[in-house]
Structure 1
Amino acid sequence: MTQTPAHRLIDGHLDLALGALEGRDPALSLDELRRLPLFTGVPGEAPQTPSVTFGELQAAGLGLCFGTLFARKGGAWPYTPGGYTDTEGARQEALRSLDWYHRWQDAGLIRLLPNRTALMAHLNDWEAGADLPLGVALLMEGADPVRGADDLPFWAEQGVRLIGPAWRGTRYAGGTGEPGGLTEAGHALLQAMADLNLTLDASHLDDAAFWDALPYGTRVIATHSNARHFIDSNRLLSDDMIRAIGERGGVVGVVPANFFIRAGWRTGQERVPLQELSEHARHIAGLIGWERVALGSDFDGGFGTEQLPAGLERYPDLHQLAQTLPAEHRAGFLWDNWARWLREHY
């Protein structure tokens, strides 16, 4: 399709392989996907309706995303029955995710971007209007699939360029709902990341782990994190954390999940207006500038349309979010800010 600047989109966080592993292959049409049994992230809560297919992403003008390798830890909620219970289990789940990305690339549905040369070619071709498949930069969300620091070169060779050490707590770091700093293994991992020139995704890191990680000098972004100014949770970024990311040239991707937008929101309540998410973006921009705020949708990553702000029913509706932002910053939010960061740091 012909791309225009207003129609281009980069998403800092999509759990594409997770959906496929759970039976929601995004190669299906949205109608087909929604006819499948709905998935439920929280026992007892309403089912969650998916919104991510390759067709929907193309219709939105998505040119590039950070696609995750995400392994679910086994156990009771918020963990997953049947999820991994040890390092090898986590590793195998991440490898299964990697296999899905290679299948999609072989089918011409995506274009993996394992290095700077591939990234630059894709961005330049896309901006020139070429008809391309979706570009995918691999992001490991939760580092438990990495056996140890000496295993990190293997994942870098597979094209992983960004790593978030935590989801909840991992062997490497305290995370969402499970406070703590870097473990001894986490310190070794951060040093190995710095040595391999990999980027730290601060999303999900507990404060202590975040501040432990900064001295290693890795590039730092937050692919999908809102502002703690509005919700007191270690899943979101404090003002000091946001400033630290900005000082290191990073970008923060805001996530349109109602429970990360309004304190106390629960599934079944009236969906929040998009304007409330834009307040998170405005707050972050007030701390580090509009050039460092972008999109990190996390769509279908454990929540569905029922948990999205009002008006977001399918992926292309994300363009409505940009309409709630100052007109002069919309193109940056949708494309330019991630594109600039990638050109400078990938």
Structure 2
Amino acid sequence: MSAVFDGHLDLAYNAQIGRDLTLPLKLLRSSDPLRGQTACVTFGELRRAGVGACFGTLFAAPSAATTHRSDAPDGYTDWQGARRQALAQLDQYRHWEDGGHLRLLGSGAEVAAHLDGWDESRPLGVLLLMEGADPLRDAGDLPFWHGAGVRLIGPAWGRTRYAGGTDAPGPLTDQGRELLSAMREHGVALDVSHLDDESFEEAVTLQPKVIASHSNSRALVPGNRQLSDQMVRAIGERGGVVGLVTYSKFIRSGWHDGDTRASFAQWAEHAARYAELIGWERVGLGSDLDGGFGLEKALEGMERYGDLLRLLDELPEGARAGVQGQNWRRWTEANL
């Protein structure tokens, strides 16, 4: 079996809030500082599930006053605070690399070399994705972050200084336009996950090297956090890939905390919707597991990370290897 490639994991953010991902899963859960968010992700679990590579995020959490995330009470209020968080997470990835838990990758060629003949003896390969661009002082700061290994940027999460985002409608700002142009010049790809429609429309013209690392279908679950069919087609027209999220609220319309979790079949409906619009070769995993939610809000029947691969059983046989990882691999080799 070829390696799994997950398009979105908040690894360093989880370390920042007190989780030691080097522990066995049982031990991590017994000492977890978060309650009501049962962890699924450790380096051991990823290795056991056959995950060879991922987009690992630098996610600076805004202050609790501007976000629903209860796990981020000490979030940032200005770009300096966002930068401190991102730099601390960058140091965490480097620390893990020094310890042999992962390998930071900087190009599609490095991804190919890392995944060729991959087995569990190799560390996790990580390409850095900045989720929310507030850690950048301005567009002139991009060379620093590119030099540090950032290869993808999502300008928004909620609203940022650069763009409208989830539950915060609005266009790109002047700073956002400058950043997108700089990203195109430096070869930093655009992650449109969390971008509001108005920002999306202009962003994909300024940097057409585009993906959605973790976004489900708005046709099945309304709201600007999901992708409309028009947005999906725009990504496909530019050769991009869309990653599927495991959060029940983004899988089944009307889902609320405490409801029966969404099913693998319902998750597969989002994959099929994307395949109908842009083909199975543009669909991948973007689990976002442990990204502000845990097992309680993931998929019914999941007990640990590796269980998410049961999704493949719901897909056409010819699509499974691509969704599992080959589609992300092909995109990175062609674009990074």
What TM-score bracket applies, with the shorter chain setting the length? over 0.9
**1:275-333 deviation digits (Å, cap 9, x = unpaired):** 00000000010000000001000010000000011111101111101111111111111
Is 2:271–2:283's contact at 8 Å kept on the other side of the alignment?
yes
**1:325-344 deviation digits (Å, cap 9, x = unpaired):** 11111111101111111111
Superposition map of 1:88-107 within 5 A: 88-107=80-99
1:28 corresponds to: 23
Displacement, 1:150? 0.3
Is 1:174–1:206's contact at 8 Å kept on the other side of the alignment?
yes
The alpha-carbon distance between structure 1 residues 267 and 88, as it changes in their structure 2 partners (threshold 3 A), is same
1:200 corresponds to: 190
Are 1:231 and 2:221 counterparts?
A: yes
User: How far, CA to CA, are the matches of 1:160 and 1:131 in structure 2?
Assistant: 25
2:7 corresponds to: 12
User: How far, CA to CA, are the matches of 1:275 and 1:268 in structure 2?
Assistant: 19
Is 1:38–1:49's contact at 8 Å kept on the other side of the alignment?
no
Is 2:47–2:120's contact at 8 Å kept on the other side of the alignment?
no
Amino acid at match of 1:280: H
Superposition map of 1:62-211 within 5 A: 62-76=51-65, 77-78=67-68, 80-126=72-118, 129=119, 131-211=121-201
Give 3-state SS (helix, strand or coil) of 2:7's partner.
strand
User: How far, CA to CA, are the matches of 2:100 and 2:117 in structure 1?
Assistant: 16
Is 2:48–2:120's contact at 8 Å kept on the other side of the alignment?
no
Instruction: With the length of structure 1 as denominator, give the TM-score of the two structures.
Output: 0.94
Give 3-state SS (helix, strand or coil) of 1:119's partner.
helix
Consecutive unaligned residues of structure 2, counting only runs of 5 or more, are: none
Is 2:111–2:329's contact at 8 Å kept on the other side of the alignment?
no
1:305 corresponds to: 295
Give 3-state SS (helix, strand or coil) of 1:17's partner.
helix
Q: What is the aligned-residue identity percentage?
A: 54
Greater shift, 132-141 or 73-82, is seen at 73-82
Moved over 3 A (4+): none
1:276 corresponds to: 266
| Count of equivalent residues | 333
2:49 corresponds to: 60
1:213 to 184, 188, 203: 203
Is 2:312–2:320's contact at 8 Å kept on the other side of the alignment?
yes
User: How far, CA to CA, are the matches of 2:120 and 2:170 in structure 1?
Assistant: 46
Displacement, 1:130? 7.8
User: How far, CA to CA, are the matches of 2:112 and 2:32 in structure 1?
Assistant: 39
Amino acid at match of 2:63: G
Amino acid at match of 2:274: I
Give 3-state SS (helix, strand or coil) of 1:140's partner.
strand
Instruction: With the length of structure 2 as denominator, give the TM-score of the two structures.
Output: 0.97
Is 1:38–1:48's contact at 8 Å kept on the other side of the alignment?
no
Is 1:149–1:189's contact at 8 Å kept on the other side of the alignment?
yes
Consecutive unaligned residues of structure 1, counting only runs of 5 or more, are: 41-46
Superposed CA RMSD: 1.2
User: How far, CA to CA, are the matches of 1:108 and 1:37 in structure 2?
Assistant: 23
Amino acid at match of 1:210: F
User: How far, CA to CA, are the matches of 2:301 and 2:263 in structure 1?
Assistant: 8
2:39 to 33, 45, 50: 50
User: How far, CA to CA, are the matches of 1:309 and 1:227 in structure 2?
Assistant: 16
User: How far, CA to CA, are the matches of 1:226 and 1:116 in structure 2?
Assistant: 25
**1:176-199 deviation digits (Å, cap 9, x = unpaired):** 000001001000000100110110
Displacement, 1:110? 0.1
Is 1:111–1:135's contact at 8 Å kept on the other side of the alignment?
yes
